[in-house]
Amino acid sequence: MAPSWWVKKAHRLTPMVVNNWSMVKVNRNKNAKQLTWVLFLKAHRAAGCITAIASTTFSLTYAVRRRVTAGCTDAEVDTGKSMQRFYACIKACLWLSFLLLGFEITAYFKGWQFRIPDLHLQYLYTIMNPLAFKGFFDWAYSKWVLIRVEYLAPPLQLLANVCVCLFLIQSLDRFVLCLGCCWIRFRKIKPVANQSLQLDLEAGYGDGFFPMVLVQIPMCNEKEVYQQSIEAVCNLNWPKSKILIQVLDDSDDPTTQWLIKEEVHKWKHDGVNIVYRHRVVRDGYKAGNLKSAMNCSYVKNYQFVAIFDADFQPSPDFLTRTVTHFKDNEELGLVQARWSFVNKDENLLTRLQYINLAFHFEVEQQVNGVFLNFFGFNGTAGVWRIKALEDSGGWLERITVEDMDIAVRAHLHGWKMIFLNDVECKCELPESYEAYKKQQHRWHSGPMQLFRLCLFDIIKSKISIWKKGNLIFLFILLRKLILPFYSFTLFCIILPMTMFIPEATLPVLIICYIPVTISFLNILPSPRSFPFIVPYLLFENTMLVTKFNALISGLFQLGNAYEWVVTKKSGRSSEGDFESLIEKDQKWSPRGISEPDLEKKVKEEDNRSYRKRKYNRVYTKELMLAFLLLTAAARSLLAAQGVHFYPSCCFKE
Q: How far apart are CA 104 and CA 96, in angstroms?
A: 12
Q: How far apart are CA 628 and CA 650, in angstroms?
A: 13
- The per-residue pLDDT for 585 is 43
Tell me the torsion sign for CA atoms 370, 372, 374, 375.
negative
Read off the pLDDT of each residue in 431-443 and give the average, rounded to a whole number.
87
- The per-residue pLDDT for 601 is 53
Close Cβ partners of 420 (under 8 Å, ≥ 6 residues apart): 190, 191, 321, 322, 325, 335, 336, 337, 338
Instruction: With a cut of 80, say whether residue 301 has pLDDT above it.
Output: yes
CA dist 114 → 148, 404, 641 (Å): 17, 54, 12
Q: How far apart are CA 524 and CA 515, in angstroms?
A: 14
Instruction: With a cut of 50, say whether residue 370 has pLDDT above it.
Output: yes
- The per-residue pLDDT for 33 is 62
Instruction: With a cut of 90, say whether residue 366 has pLDDT above it.
Output: yes
CA dist 383 → 12, 312, 326, 332 (Å): 107, 14, 10, 11
CA 109 to chain CA mean position, Å: 42
Beta carbons within 10 angstroms of residue 649's beta carbon: 16
**CB of 422 within 8 A of CB of 464?**
no
Tell me the three state secondary structure of residue 51: helix
- Beta-sheet strands, E only, within 250-309: 274-278, 304-307
CA 624 to chain CA mean position, Å: 19
Read off the pLDDT of each residue in 556-561 and give the average, rounded to a whole number.
75
Q: How far apart are CA 580 and CA 568, in angstroms?
A: 21
Read off the pLDDT of each residue in 40-54 and give the average, rounded to a whole number.
68
pLDDT digit string, tens, across residues 278-298: 987 778 889 999 999 999 999
- The per-residue pLDDT for 571 is 67
- The per-residue pLDDT for 178 is 94
Read off the pLDDT of each residue in 89-94 and give the average, rounded to a whole number.
66
Instruction: With a cut of 60, say whether residue 303 has pLDDT above it.
Output: yes
- The per-residue pLDDT for 553 is 86
**CB of 620 within 8 A of CB of 74?**
yes
CA 233 to chain CA mean position, Å: 28
- Catalytic residue numbers, as ranges: 250, 403
% of residues, the chain, pLDDT over 90: 36
Close Cβ partners of 629 (under 8 Å, ≥ 6 residues apart): 492, 496, 541, 645, 646, 647, 648
Tell me the three state secondary structure of residue 424: strand
pLDDT level of residue 201 (50, 70, 90 thresholds):
very low
**CB of 230 within 8 A of CB of 267?**
yes
Q: How far apart are CA 310 and CA 99, in angstroms?
A: 50
pLDDT digit string, tens, across residues 457-475: 999 998 999 999 999 999 9
Instruction: With a cut of 90, say whether residue 317 has pLDDT above it.
Output: yes
Who wins on pLDDT, 200 or 28?
A: 28
Read off the pLDDT of each residue in 499-512 and give the average, rounded to a whole number.
81
**CB of 126 within 8 A of CB of 146?**
yes
In the chain the first and final C-alpha atoms are separated, in Å, by 94
Q: How far apart are CA 50 and CA 463, in angstroms?
A: 70
Point out the least confidently predicted range of 19-28, 154-163, 217-226, 538-547: 19-28
Read off the pLDDT of each residue in 600-620 and give the average, rounded to a whole number.
54
Q: Where are the alpha helices (DSSP H) in 111-215?
A: 119-128, 136-147, 153-187
**CB of 541 within 8 A of CB of 491?**
yes
Instruction: With a cut of 60, say whether residue 597 has pLDDT above it.
Output: no
Instruction: With a cut of 80, say whether residue 635 has pLDDT above it.
Output: no
Selection from 430, 424, 439 nearest residue 354 by Cα:
430
Q: How far apart are CA 182 and CA 173, in angstroms?
A: 14
Mean pLDDT score of the chain: 77
Read off the pLDDT of each residue in 86-107 and give the average, rounded to a whole number.
66
pLDDT digit string, tens, across residues 19-34: 444 544 545 555 666 6
Instruction: With a cut of 50, say whether residue 554 has pLDDT above it.
Output: yes
- The per-residue pLDDT for 213 is 96
Residue 162 phi, psi (nearest 5)? -65, -45
Q: Alpha-carbon Rg of the chain, whole angstroms?
A: 34
Instruction: With a cut of 70, say whether residue 8 has pLDDT above it.
Output: no
Q: How far apart are CA 458 and CA 392, in angstroms?
A: 13
Indicate the burial class of 296 (C-beta count within 10 angstroms; 0-12, 13-18, 19 or more): middle
- The per-residue pLDDT for 362 is 94
What helix, strand, coil percent values describe the chain, rounded to 5? 65, 10, 30
Point out the least confidently predicted range of 240-249, 319-328, 642-651: 642-651
Read off the pLDDT of each residue in 488-503 and give the average, rounded to a whole number.
84
Instruction: With a cut of 50, say whether residue 590 has pLDDT above it.
Output: no
pLDDT digit string, tens, across residues 259-273: 999 999 999 999 999
Instruction: With a cut of 90, say whether residue 412 has pLDDT above it.
Output: yes
Q: How far apart are CA 429 and CA 355, in angstroms?
A: 12
Instruction: With a cut of 60, say whether residue 631 has pLDDT above it.
Output: yes
Q: Where are the alpha helices (DSSP H) in 392-532?
A: 402-412, 433-460, 465-469, 483-488, 495-500, 508, 514-523
Who wins on pLDDT, 329 or 14?
A: 329
Q: How far apart are CA 538 and CA 648, in angstroms?
A: 5
pLDDT level of residue 649 (50, 70, 90 thresholds):
very low
- The per-residue pLDDT for 395 is 94
The C-alpha angle with vertex 543 and arms to 539 and 549, in degrees rounded to 5, equals 170
